[in-house]
Every structure is written in C-alpha cells, then in structure tokens.
Structure 1
Amino acid sequence: MDVNAEIEWLREAAPVPYRAALAEMTARNAAIREEGARELVWLLEHPPVYTAGTSADETELLDPRFDVVTAGRGGRYTYHGPGQRIGYVLLDLTKRARDVRGFVHALEGWVIATLAEFGVESWRAEGRIGIWTQDIDGREAKIGAIGVRVRRWVTMHGFSVNLDPDLSHFAGIVPCGIDEYGVTSLARLGMMVSSEEWDAALLRHADDFLAALGRACPKEDS
C-alpha cells in the first residue's frame, strides 16, 4: 500500500486524554487547511469520557459519571473509553470528491470491511447513525459510532469501534440519541481482538477507503 507518503498514520499505544486529542486535532485541521500540512489518520483510545456533539440533548445525559466534553462534531452524546478503538481522520476533500455525505459513507464502509475480516457482519441502518450488527441475543446493536466535522473541506473526528470496552459505561447516556437498541462489542460477540490486530486490519482496507473518496456517494445506502 502506497498511502504513507501522502498521509501520516499515527498509532497510540497509551490512552490519550480527550481534551488533549481534541486540541491537537483542531490544530492539525487548521494546519492542513492553511499551511498544507500532511493529512492524518490517528488511531488511539481515550480514558473514560462522554462527548457531546452539536445535536446533543441534555436529557440524554443520564449519569455523568465521567468528564463531559463538548466535541464540536456532529451527532449527540457518545462514550469513549479503554477497549474502544478510535480513528480520527483528517483529510483534505479538495483533493478528492467534495462530498461530505460521500466521506461519511466511505468511512462507514471502511469500518464494515474491517469488521468483516474478523467474521463480523455489520451494516448501515437507514435513519440511524453508526455501524450495526447482530448481538448475542439476536437483536440489532451498535458496534461502531461515526461522528465527523468538516471545516473548509478538511475533515476531523471520525469513527470508534468497540473492541472490548466496559459496556456498562454506555448506560450513563443515550448513545447517539438512540435508546431502542443496545451496544455490543467484538469481545461480547466472542472475538478478542487487540488494538494492534484491529489497526493492522484497518490499514489493509485503507486503499479501498481512499479510493471511495474519489467517487460521489451512492444515492441509496447499502
């Protein structure tokens, strides 16, 4: 794969505090826009935190047992914590299709393809943001979250995938404003996947993700 020359791929082994990551991501977004800095895909985890998107409803913050941070991304409340792998994706869409919906669609497809490598079938769900799969009880549950912001065609924020987080921590919020469905993880589905294994699989699908950014978003999600 020949993407590293154009994009910096940064992987963190230790948790990064959310506020510090947000400050770094905001600065890098501006540097890409204004100074032509390298684009970035940043893979990391956070200590436990609840983040509020631009559509967050305070009634959905049920038990603020952890720090609550206004994130500036789209969406509502989300939990981040150990065992959940996050990908912050900072790309210049002026070099690709200027299609925000297409960017989100490609991001979802990247996560779905990577999950398939571990034998997990997942999908988009009309009217519900995120990545969904069948839980051990047979019901549909969220295994990944999507939340992005685009500033002058440069993206920031990205996705999170539940490898093996403490799922009880999601009970402090209504995740992404959807209370009819549960939250699951690869570990709950019987697959113990390390962050190293996840990151390597994600990287194997990066070329397809980047190629999708050069195409307009399909009219119908699949």
Structure 2
Amino acid sequence: MIVKRLGRVDYEPALEAMRVFTAQRTGSTPDELWLLEHPPVYTLGQAGRPEHLLQNPAAIPLVHIDRGGQITYHGPGQLVAYLLVDLPRRRLKVRGLVTLMEQAVIDTLADYGLAAGRKEGAPGVYVDGAKIAALGLRVRNGCCYHGLSLNVDMDLTPFGWINPCGYEGLRTVQMKDFGIAETVPGAGETLLAHLQRLLPPLPADADTADQPARAVGSV
C-alpha cells in the first residue's frame, strides 16, 4: 500500500483526485492511503437531508458528495484518512472494511489510554456516547474511496450547527478533551500502523471483479 501524507488540502480537489484515481485504476494498481486534514467544510452524503444543517453563521462551504451518510464537518485539527482499496483483491466485504476502520480507531485511542467503542446501528467510534470518529465510503467496481475522520485537537463549534450524522443532539468530542496532547500527524502515524496491521494482505492469486457502484456511510 502506498501512503501519502498530504498535509492540509482543500476538500473538493481531494474528492476529485480520489474519483480520478478510482476511475483510472486497474487490477494491478497499488492501494493507497491518504492522511490529511481539510480547511473548514461541511459534507453531505448522497442521500443526506439539507435540513440537518441547522445554521451556518460562519458561512462554511457545504459540499454535496457521493459517499453514504448524512452531514458532517471537517476542519483543521481533525485527522482524515482516505482508503483507496481494491476490496475483492484483499477479499474484503464492505461491512468488513467498516469494522476494520472502526477497530483501527479504537486501537489508536487505546494507545493513548482512551477507551472507545462502537454504537449499535450508528457506525463510527464513540467515547461515553459522544462521537469522536466518523466514517463513510463509496464503492465503485469493487474499489472504495473516502474513509474516516478522527477529531484530534480542533474547534468543535461547527458541529453544534448541524445534526451530526443526522442525529439530533449527538455530542462530538475530540482527543484533546481527554487530556491527550497530540498533533494530527502524530495521530495519523498511530492510526496508520493499526490500519496496516488490520488490512488483509494481498493473496497471491488476487484478482478484481466488476461490481456496481454503491455508497456506505455513517457521517
């Protein structure tokens, strides 16, 4: 897997780059994992409801995108990991990848002494019922893009102007709230190690198979 540490990148160029990469990849294209953060932006999934944006006093851009799920916020101080993975080649199902991503975040937070877990019927990672990490995927011809976001040390105010992930009153938290002094790049390296550990290796007889496009998400 090729790892790219991209720093701070505007959302829409990153989205277009993911789409182009996925459209052009072949059965021999290596998977990639991008670590980055975004300037302030709201993203709304393809079946998202605009009314979940309650107010927007800071005039944060709203981008309608092709992942599953509802509305979420990205901003400086939040780690974003985009997984561009050929699922059939790794013999992964979508649900398996979602579980893997959640576990990587749970294990990352455990490394910092923070107990986190899943919530039934609401993908993502939670600490005491508050969301600390969100995820959403798009799968096209068996290959996924988009990924997950982990709140590290950011201004959480814009989450208060939405129903995060479509849930009214859902609290969002970050690593800093629990006394964890870490940078986005530092958290990224910890998460990367867990993702690389959990992702199945490529079988010797790996091959790709065309599958219809679909969207999966929780954000």
Q: Report which structure shows greater RCO (CA 8 Å, sep ≥6).
A: 2
Q: Unmatched 5+ residue regions in structure 2?
A: 204-219
| Residue 38 (1) aligns with residue 10 (2) | no
- Indicate which of 109, 126, 131 corresponds to 1:142: 131
- 5 Å matches for 1:47-62? 47-62=39-54
Report the Cα distance in structure 2 between the residues aligned to 1:213 and 1:198, rounded to whole angstroms: 26
| Partner in structure 2 of residue 118 of structure 1 | 112
Q: What is the TM-score when the length of structure 2 is the normalising length? A: 0.86
- 2-side partners of 1:193 and 1:55: how far apart? 34
- Deviation, structure 1 residue 35: 6.5
How high is the TM-score relative to the length of structure 1?
Answer: 0.85
Offset of 1:85 from its aligned partner? 0.4
Over residues 26-72 of structure 1, what are the superposed CA-to-partner deviations in whole Å (9 max), with x where a residue is unaligned?
1111122x474321100000000000012211111112321000120
Mapped partners of 1:80, 1:102: distance in 2 = 25
Q: Residue 63 of structure 1: SS of its match in structure 2?
A: coil
Q: Is the 8 A contact 1:52 1:71 kept in 2?
A: yes
Deviations 1:73-95 (A, max 9, x none): 01000100000000000000121
Indicate yes or no: 2:159 matched with 1:170. Answer: yes
What is residue 161 of structure 1 aligned with on the other side? 150
Asked if residue 198 in structure 1 is aligned to residue 190 in structure 2, the reply is no
1:185 aligns with 2:189: no
Partner of 2:209: none
Contact (CA 8 Å) 1:90, 1:157: kept in 2 or not?
Answer: yes
Task: Classify the secondary structure of the residue corresponding to 2:13.
Answer: helix
Percentage of matched positions with identical amino acids: 38
Are the aligned partners of 1:31 and 1:37 in contact in 2 as well (CA < 8 Å)? no
Distance 1:142 1:26 in 2: 27
The secondary structure found in structure 2 opposite 1:109 is helix
C-alpha distance in 2 between matches for 1:117 and 1:184: 17
Tell me, yes or no, if the aligned pair for 1:41 and 1:90 is still in contact at 8 Å: yes
Summarize the Cα distance change of 1:98–1:186 in structure 2 as closer, same or farther, 3 Å threshold: closer
3-state DSSP of counterpart to 1:188: helix
SS state of the match for residue 120, structure 1?
coil
Secondary structure of 1:187's counterpart equals: helix
RMSD over aligned Cα atoms: 1.7
Map 1:59-98; keep pairs closer than 5 Å: 59-64=51-56, 65-98=59-92
Distance in 2, matches of 1:85 and 1:163, equals: 7
8 Å contact from structure 2 (residues 87, 144) kept in 1? yes
8 Å contact 1:92–1:154 — kept in the other structure?
yes
Secondary structure, aligned partner of 1:158: strand
Kindly indicate whether the alpha-carbon contact (under 8 Å) linking 1:60 and 1:77 is maintained by their aligned counterparts in 2: yes
What is the distance in 1 between the residues matched to 2:39 and 2:65? 15
1:192 counterpart letter in structure 2 = A
Which whole-Å CA distance do the structure 2 matches of 1:133 and 1:40 have between them? 29
Q: Distance in 1 between matches of 2:126 and 2:6?
A: 26
